[in-house]
Amino acid sequence: MDFLALGGTCVGAVARHIELFSRMRLQLNRAWEANAGQSRIGSRPYSPAASLHAHKKISMHSNTLGAYPMTFDLHALLDERRGDKFALFERHLNPQMLRVLRTLGFDVDYVHAEGPYLFDREDRPYLDLLSGFGVFALGRNHPTVIGALEQVLRSRLPGLVQLDVSLLAGILAERLLARMPWLDKAFFCNSGAEAVEAAIKFSRAATGRSKLLYCEHGFHGLTYGALSLCGDEPFRERFGPFVGECATVPFNDLPALERALATRDVAAFVVEPVQGKGVNLPADGYLAEAARLCRRHGTLLVADEIQCGMGRTGRFLACEHFGVEPDMVLLAKALSGGFVPVGAVLMRGAIFDRVYNRMERAFVHGSTFSKNDLAMAAGLATLAAFDEERLIERAAAVGEQLISGLSARLSGSELVKEVRGKGMMIAIELGPPRDFKLKAAYSLVERADKGLFCQLILIPLLTQHRILAQVAGHAMPVIKLLPPFVISDDDRLWIENAFAQVVGDSQSLAGMWNLGRTLAGHALRERAGSA
């Protein structure tokens, strides 16, 4: 291979640099020989090995004996500024977010966390069923992940060299692909949205087609390509136009999918096996038939398992429940162990080989911080914790108990339409009650803001029972629960008892009046605080 003939490419540039460095090294060697190795620093001959030894000695000395004392004290900074948390966020970040929290009464000052619990300034525990939108499958501050990250920091690994390859990335890819034996290659990135962006590019490159299909109510991230596949209109408003040739089909509608695929111009069908917005489950046979239709029409099936994967539904991948082997699988969120952002695209070898098909395309797609040692170690530690503590099996068993318990406790409620889910991905869907007066009040609240009635449950759930949860998406009367896999049986009963009480209390005109009064009070307090 004549590298210099690859001019204009990254590999060609590297080859030219190698040639230049070789000439420079030859000249330096000649100069070194001419001076008999007596280049001096001060009065001593220069020795590369001695210099490296001295550098190590200085580094060790500065870290252990304080020759170069550390002036930055994070603990002191947090203690000094703790009272400024909300004011700083309002001034420099997103004041509208703070308005939402204050209006709902969710502006709790959490100061530390452990497992499934958040603790406020008075050290009162709150059970977190939001889990950072699914990030904290292991709970917060899991010791296995902390230990792995500490080892990385102490090991002084040569990370992000860029013209090198990462051992930790290779091991993580090997262990992820072992759980998906029909797939061959991995690509790492920094988030779920980045994984979706990569899948868009890879599917177009592999098929030579440009059209992409996604489902109504689907959510795949908020970067431009990912947002172009978003079935939730409020996220798209005022951000168009979007990436071209993206079309939507209804979830669970096989005839609509077949019509869209029959044009044979679709690169990929991107679908969440269990939709996060609403916790919508696929109908029996839907995903298996969708996979068959994709194969028939030459379209890649891309499973977005960013929230529903990594054990969330009681299997490592949600698509395992339905006997489906996608062409690409997207992971993120829980892969981080709750610490270091990371995303992954796992794919068939043929797809990868169409993208990285020549040496000059070795750098055709990548990300500066992908494969960083902290993220790779967090992923490896997360998989280890899953296996050592049998947490995916626990998610399946405790999730089934929680779904059954909530269904039993809420079955007599006029407000609860359905409790559904898989594993630790659970929805409680509300609906208008049968009682005429309650139905009128319910309709009045929903007309004010569709989905607002859920706050009648969620606000007292937090303020009275210290359980954090929220709705499953815009304009839908669905509460979503994403418990950490490490919740105890006592935690499960805490959840069931709390929901039974707040749902029971809400089934009255007095309960609805209390909601309006609470929201109004919070809104007034928020206005007063921002005045």
Lowest mean pLDDT among 60-64, 155-159, 234-238, 416-420: 60-64
pTM across the whole model: 0.87
Which of the residues 304, 327, 373, 491 is marked catalytic? 304
Residue-wise pLDDT tens digits, 318-359: 999 999 999 999 999 999 999 999 999 999 999 999 999 999
Residues 6+ apart with CB under 8 A from 329: 180, 183, 302, 303, 305, 309, 317, 319, 345, 346, 347
H helices of 123-252, in order, are 131-134, 143-155, 167-178, 192-207, 224-227, 233-236
Instruction: Round to whole Å and give the CA distance between 103 and 329.
Output: 39
Residue with more model confidence, 474 or 52: 474
For 68, the token pair is 């170069």
Active-site residue 284, yes or no? no
Residue-wise pLDDT tens digits, 27-65: 545 544 555 444 433 444 444 444 444 444 444 444 544
Confidence of residue 421 (pLDDT cuts 50, 70, 90): very high
Mean of the pLDDT values across residues 8-31? 49
Confidence of residue 299 (pLDDT cuts 50, 70, 90): very high
pLDDT of residue 452: 84
pLDDT of residue 8: 39
Mean of the pLDDT values across residues 424-428? 98
> Could you give the percent of the chain with pLDDT greater than 90?
75
Which of the residues 202, 219, 386, 453 is marked catalytic? 219
Confidence of residue 14 (pLDDT cuts 50, 70, 90): very low
Which of the residues 333, 371, 422, 480 is marked catalytic? 333
pLDDT of residue 201: 98
Share the mean pLDDT of the chain: 88
Instruction: Give CA separation, 525 vs 83, 94, 529, in Å.
Output: 18, 18, 6
Active-site residue 333, yes or no? yes
CATH class for the domain made up of 143-388: alpha beta
Mean of the pLDDT values across residues 14-19? 47
397 closest CA partner among 486, 315, 314, 495: 314
Q: Is 65 helix (H, G, I), strand (E, B) or coil?
A: coil
DSSP string for residues in 392-418: HHHHHHHHHHHHHHHHHHHTT-SSEEE
The most confident of the ranges 50-54, 294-298, 473-477 is 294-298
pLDDT of residue 23: 55
CATH class for the domain made up of 87-123+391-530: alpha beta
Active-site residue 219, yes or no? yes
Mean of the pLDDT values across residues 237-259? 97
Instruction: Round to whole Å and give the CA distance between 30 and 27.
Output: 5
pLDDT of residue 46: 40
Task: Check: CB of residue 338 under 8 Å from CB of residue 140.
Answer: yes
158 closest CA partner among 172, 168, 149, 144: 168
Q: Dihedral sign for Cα 360, 366, 367, 372, please.
A: negative
pLDDT of residue 527: 59
Return the domain boundaries, the chain.
Answer: 6-35, 87-123+391-530, 143-388
Q: Is the pLDDT of residue 85 over 90?
A: yes
